[in-house]
Amino acid sequence: MRRLVLLLALLLASPSAWAVTVEKVVSAKGIEAWLVQDHSNPIIAMEVSFKGGAANDPAPKAGLASMAAALLDEGAGPYDSQTFQQILEDKVISLGFSAARDGFAGHLKTLTENRDLAFDLFRLALAQPRFDKEPVERIRSQLLAGLLRESQDPNAQASRQWFQAAFPSHPYANPPRGSVETVKTIQGADLRAFAKAQLSLDRLVVAVVGDITPEQLAALLDSSFAGLPARSTLPAIPDKSAEPPPGITVLPKGNPQTAALFGSRGILRNDPDWYAAYVMNYILGGGGFSSRLTEEVREKRGLAYSVYSYLMPYAHAGLIIGGVATENSRFSESVRLIKEEFRRMRDDGPTEKELADAKTYLNGSFPLQQESTSAVAGLLVQIQVDRLGIDFLDRRKELIEAVSLEDVKRAARRLLDPDALSIVAVGKPAGL
């Protein structure tokens, strides 16, 4: 029974290294982008991010960045909304924007034959959005409908409550997509002011992957971005240590199951203990069927379909967050087990074998993320946002290999405290 497993263990050499060449392209006007050339398909993907995002929304206008994101491709320059969309559809250009707490992202994907047109539409969307009345009211109705739909979702409900309690008097308390009340108040003038203040060159990072040369890209960087303001006028977001209240908050809901979000203070991305904490979380609750939480809650006892934890390194606050959903009558058993696993990891740390398995997975699986041009471009943007350096892809493996058992134990002692866990439970849990 064990023989095959032993045999398999011998095969665990590290998977073949994945090599892409990341080039830094700097245009004549000084705009920088990271490029991976890939001429195997006639496709170009660009991902960009502006630092800032929903955390800059004034509290009474929460949802402003998200609303602006939904409107930039709804009419720009000489084109009204339907004309702009018709060009995108006819040329099969994928162009859109999205806002998160710390960033405002732009996405572009085009066939090579429509390259110049695609970049020009991207330029117009950033620099000359129209915010015409019809699309503003239409998008508002979509955002309101989306907020109502999300209010039916127990996980979304738990999340909102969790952040509101954890970040008193900090913008992270505000939901990035706002609330029904705040979205109703956003005006065309707010949207125009947002675009002007947020979409500036000092906040921009760019990554491009696909069928394009550095020379072609340099020219397009200037034509696409050089018209944006050089500097943003926005104030900086303050750093903040999260203050999630320990214990359980129950939001009653007539579901047969209780869905919960749990979490506590975590760690920032640039913390020296980051990789130790990252490996620790993989073993605790990040590793799917290889994680302790899944083993104890799902595999041994059938208490949940999904139970997990992850590190959430916001720009100004680090968190460790998790989730679980269990039928109402057995929910308290899941909570007890999760706390017990937090305690066990804090007190004893992982085993040598768990550490070795975690490293093999975290290094071996990394190339699997790179399955399309957009995925690689997204990765390159994140590396720039996190300031990890253009050689990060070459160094990542060693950063993970260097994590020792003592490092993981230290990170566990520092981060995990079962009694500090802040739990928001949505449902009708029994026996709490």
Partner 1 sequence: MTTFPRFCTLLLGLSLLAAAPAQARVFDPETFTLANGMQVVVIANHRVPIVSHMVWYKVGAADEEPGKSGLAHLLEHLMFKGTPSIPPGEFSKIVARNGGRDNAFTTADYTGYYQNVAADRLELVMKMEADRMKNLVLDEANFRTELAVVREERRSRTDSNPAALLYEQMEAALYLNSPYHRPVIGWDSEIAALSLDDALAFYRRWYAPNNAILVIAGDVTAASIRPLAEKYYGTLERADTPPRQRTQEPPAHAERRVTLKDGRVAEPSWTRLYLAPSLGAGKRELAYPLEVLADLVGGGATSRLYRSLVVDKGVAAAADAAYDPTALGETSFRLSVVPRPGVPLDKLEAVIDQELARILKDGFSAEEIERAKSRLKASAAYGRDSLHTGAQTFGEALTCGVSVDEVEAWPERIAAVTPELVAAAAKAVFEPKASVTGLLLPDANAPKDSRSRAPLPSAFTKGVH
- Nearer Cβ to partner 1, position 423 or 426? 426
Do 182 and 150 contact (CB within 8 A), yes or no?
Answer: no
56 by Cβ neighbours in 10 Å (0-12 / 13-18 / 19+) ranks as: buried
In whole angstroms, the minimum distance from the beta carbon of 189 to partner 1 comes to 22
Do 177 and 100 contact (CB within 8 A), yes or no?
Answer: no
Kindly state whether residue 177 participates in binding partner 1, applying the rule CB under 8 A.
yes
- Nearer Cβ to partner 1, position 287 or 429? 287
Instruction: Enumerate residues 11-40 that contact partner 1 by CB under 8 A.
Output: 11-12, 14-16, 18, 38, 40
Kindly state whether residue 137 participates in binding partner 1, applying the rule CB under 8 A.
yes
- Nearer Cβ to partner 1, position 29 or 149? 149
Instruction: Enumerate residues 48-77 that contact partner 1 by CB under 8 A.
Output: 53-54, 66
Kindly state whether residue 270 participates in binding partner 1, applying the rule CB under 8 A.
no
Exactly one of 49, 216, 224, 257 binds partner 1 (CB under 8 A); that residue is 257
| Of residues 386, 398, 383, 399, the one with CA closest to residue 24 | 383
Exactly one of 37, 96, 132, 179 binds partner 1 (CB under 8 A); that residue is 179
Structure tokens at 162: 């969790």
Kindly state whether residue 207 participates in binding partner 1, applying the rule CB under 8 A.
no
Using the Cα atoms of residue 222, residue 228, residue 230 and residue 235 in order, give the sign of their dihedral.
negative
Choices 21-29, 195-203, 234-242, 321-329; region in contact with partner 1 by CB under 8 A: 321-329
Exactly one of 133, 235, 289, 352 binds partner 1 (CB under 8 A); that residue is 289
Exactly one of 302, 340, 395, 419 binds partner 1 (CB under 8 A); that residue is 302
Total residues interacting with partner 1, rule: CB under 8 A? 123
Choices 115-123, 220-228, 239-247, 270-278; region in contact with partner 1 by CB under 8 A: 270-278
Q: Are strands 247-252 and 422-427 parallel, antiparallel or unpaired?
A: parallel
Q: Per DSSP, what are the bridge partners of residue 142?
A: none
For residues 86 and 328, what is the distance between their CA atoms, to the nearest angstrom? 49
Kindly state whether residue 161 participates in binding partner 1, applying the rule CB under 8 A.
yes
Instruction: Enumerate residues 360-379 that contact partner 1 by CB under 8 A.
Output: 360-368, 370-374, 379
Exactly one of 34, 79, 131, 310 binds partner 1 (CB under 8 A); that residue is 310
* H or E element in which residue 162 lies: helix 154-166
Exactly one of 27, 56, 159, 200 binds partner 1 (CB under 8 A); that residue is 159
Q: Does residue 307 sit in helix, strand or coil? A: strand
- Nearer Cβ to partner 1, position 8 or 189? 8
Q: Which residue has the tokens 């760690």?
A: 267
Choices 221-229, 239-247, 356-364, 412-420; region in contact with partner 1 by CB under 8 A: 356-364
Kindly state whether residue 402 participates in binding partner 1, applying the rule CB under 8 A.
no
Exactly one of 147, 204, 317, 403 binds partner 1 (CB under 8 A); that residue is 147
In sequence order, which residues have a C-beta less than 8 Å from that of residue 124 and are 6 or more positions away?
Answer: 76, 77, 79
Choices 4-12, 26-34, 122-130, 189-197; region in contact with partner 1 by CB under 8 A: 4-12
Q: Are strands 23-26 and 103-111 parallel, antiparallel or unpaired?
A: unpaired
Structure tokens at 24: 């830094």
In sequence order, which residues have a C-beta less than 8 Å from that of residue 75 and are 6 or more positions away?
Answer: 81, 83, 84, 129, 130, 131, 132, 135
Kindly state whether residue 152 participates in binding partner 1, applying the rule CB under 8 A.
yes
Region of 302 on the Ramachandran plot (φ > 0 left; ψ -120 to 50 alpha; else beta): left
The separation between the first and the last C-alpha atoms of the chain, rounded to the nearest angstrom, is 42
- Nearer Cβ to partner 1, position 225 or 310? 310
Kindly state whether residue 226 participates in binding partner 1, applying the rule CB under 8 A.
no
